[in-house]
Amino acid sequence: MATVNILLKPGSRGPRVHDLQWMLDHVTHAGLERDGDFGPMTEEAVVHYQATRHLHVDGVVGPATWTRLTVEYRAGLHVVDPVVTFRRHVSYWCGWFVSYAAHSVYSWDRPYPRQVLPVMRTDCSGSSSFVLHQSRVLVRGRLLPFDPNGLDWNGQGYTGTLAAHGRPVSLAALVAGDLIFVYPGAGPGGAPGHVQVALGGGRAFSFGSWPPKYVDAVYDGVFAARRYLG
């Protein structure tokens, strides 16, 4: 196996840390918030992982720890149910967006250019369709044909387009991958003003005129939800 050139430690930030948190959470069930920030909880999880695998215990993720964790994580990826796989990857890509918050620019400009890292120019509907599109690849096309910019539907990727697809689902029954639509005024009947990606457990991913972030799914407005798989 090729040597991995990596060094993550307390204070590190970014997508690599997000991937570390994701793998640790799946392998050790550490309950980490996958925010791309190597804080005290992530350090504690790394120390625990190193100690239980008889690795050098220092709370720093170098080539040996990263390689062992990656091998163990991949060995555990034997999920047959495509719906379960889809929901797991929705959670992953929402966390990816949060970890890239510093490189995400909120923009209403239409049509969107094709996105090229390190900068993502998009809005709530664009980021939501991006998350579902990226997750679809792993469930063999059983999801509606989302494009990162909504181009498969109407060329715009507006929130109202997303709301016109899928099937209604109760807010009390939300799972990862459902979309939560915020309606102004009296509720569904006009175009929704905002969309979030449900993560389950009362949490959601939201990207508006604020940076991409996790939010508590507290319904203090008029909401509706739709499901696209499962």
pLDDT, tens digit, for every residue of 89-127?
A: 888 888 888 887 777 778 776 544 444 445 667 788 878
Query: How much is the pLDDT for 22?
Result: 86
SS3 (DSSP) at 150: coil
Contacts for 72 with CB less than 8 Å, ≥ 6 apart: 27
**Which domains, and CATH codes, for the chain?**
15-75 (1.10.101.10), 82-227 (3.90.1720.10)
Q: Is the pLDDT of residue 149 over 80?
A: no
* Cα–Cα dist 160/152, whole Å: 14
Query: How much is the pLDDT for 61?
Result: 95
Q: Is the pLDDT of residue 172 over 70?
A: yes
- Cα dihedral: 93, 99, 160, 153 (round 10): -50
Query: How much is the pLDDT for 119?
Result: 62
Mean of per-residue pLDDT scores for the chain: 76
Query: How much is the pLDDT for 80?
Result: 54
Half-sphere exposure of 109 (CA within 13 A, CB side): 10
The answer to whether the predicted template modeling score (pTM) of the entire model surpasses 0.85 is no
Taking residues 71-89, report their average pLDDT.
Answer: 73
* Cα–Cα dist 80/78, whole Å: 6
pLDDT for 54-65, tens place per residue? 999 999 999 999
pLDDT for 176-216, tens place per residue? 889 888 887 555 566 788 889 998 888 899 988 888 888 88
